[in-house]
Amino acid sequence: MPALEAWLDGLGANPPGQYRVAVTGNGIDAIRTHARDLGVDFLVFERDDEGKRQGVVVMVVDPETLDDKLGPMFGLIGRFKHVPRILRDPLDAQAKRQTGFSITEATNPNTPIGAAVAALDQLRDFGGRGIVLIDAVKQ
């Protein structure tokens, strides 16, 4: 994992192509430090593409650490879609207030957060360290 983190820091120092680091400062540094404790590190890049903002999140992941820290949560998220809607809606609303995204969004692979959660789950199943890219264009 230290080699992947060093690679990611190098990518942040020299972003590819027309990309730039989208978020910097103490706030994001604190979030990255917490994420590293969970086995994940990331950087967010952005560029302008014909008047639209395009973003790419690059994550490096240590599935063993992630599984040790958050394994049970992934199981709960996977079963959340089977909960009756009347019970899901209040949980979604609370999660949205606290995190900025709902649990339903986190379980939908067509959303950026859902794609990240799905990719992390696949890496957990694979069992090896890896790099995850999430590409998005703001419409």
**How does pLDDT run across 99-119, given as a tens digit for each residue?**
677 788 777 777 766 777 777
Residue 101 lies in a domain: no
Residue 63 lies in a domain: yes
C-alpha separations of 44 from 15, 19, 47, 59 in Å: 10, 10, 11, 9
Give ∠ CA 32-75-130 in degrees, rounded to 5. Answer: 45
Dihedral of CA 16/22/27/33: which sign?
negative
Rounded to the nearest 5 percent, the helix, strand and coil shares of the chain are 55, 20, 25
Mean pLDDT of the chain: 79
Residue 109 lies in a domain: no
Residue 100 lies in a domain: no
Whole-number Å distance between alpha carbons of 75 and 9: 31
Residue 96 lies in a domain: no
Task: Give me the domain span that covers residue 120.
Answer: 2-77+116-137
pLDDT at position 74, please? 65
Check if the beta carbon of residue 109 is closer than 8 Å to that of residue 115: yes
Per-residue pLDDT tens over the stretch 66-84: 777 766 666 677 677 788 8
Q: How many domains are there within the chain?
A: 1
CB neighbourhood size of 7 (10 A): 14
Check residue 14 and report its DSSP letter.
S
Per-residue pLDDT at 10 exceeds 80: yes
